């Protein structure tokens, strides 16, 4: 059963939900949000797309296997701890730097750790959802 309304709506909602998930990821240090919440929203966006268009089409739009996202996320989270360790600080200590773009933005290892959590959550959730939907 395919619904024209659902498939059309999810085509437009997917980019908006992914944008919201990135906003939640980057804004999570100041207000509720962060890597976990952003990852759940991104996975929900792809799950909705899979319901409307099928799992194979959702996998094609994702461009990578969820297992790859899990590995990249774990490596990114590990890298955030190694950066502090190499700087003769305790493992996973937050180190910050300021990047000046059109706006001044503070980047740090906690943000890098959150990106790792984001990728792991998206990967694990989509692996479960895609496996269940294929069966």
Where along the chain do its domains lie?
A: 4-134
Mean pLDDT of the chain: 91
Q: Percent of the chain, pLDDT > 90?
A: 70
What's the pLDDT band for 113 if we cut at 50, 70, 90?
very high
Long-range contacts of 5-12 (CB under 8 A, 24+ apart): 6/51, 6/52, 7/52, 7/53, 9/52, 10/48, 10/49, 10/51, 10/52, 10/53, 11/52
- Give this prediction's pTM: 0.90
Per-residue pLDDT at 58: 95
Per-residue pLDDT at 1: 58
């Amino acid at each position: 059963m395919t619904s024209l309304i659902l498939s059309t709506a999810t085509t437009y909602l997917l980019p908006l939900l992914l944008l919201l998930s990135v906003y939640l990821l980057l804004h999570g240090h100041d207000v509720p949000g962060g890597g976990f919440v952003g990852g759940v929203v991104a996975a929900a966006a792809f799950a909705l797309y899979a319901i409307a268009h099928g799992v194979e089409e959702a996998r094609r739009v994702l461009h990578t296997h969820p297992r790859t996202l899990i590995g990249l996320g774990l490596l990114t989270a590990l890298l955030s701890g190694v950066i502090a360790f190499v700087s003769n600080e305790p493992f996973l200590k937050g180190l910050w730097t300021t990047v000046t773009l059109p706006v001044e933005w503070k980047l740090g290892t906690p943000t890098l750790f959150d990106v790792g959590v984001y990728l792991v959550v998206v990967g694990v959730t989509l692996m479960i959802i895609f496996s269940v939907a294929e069966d």
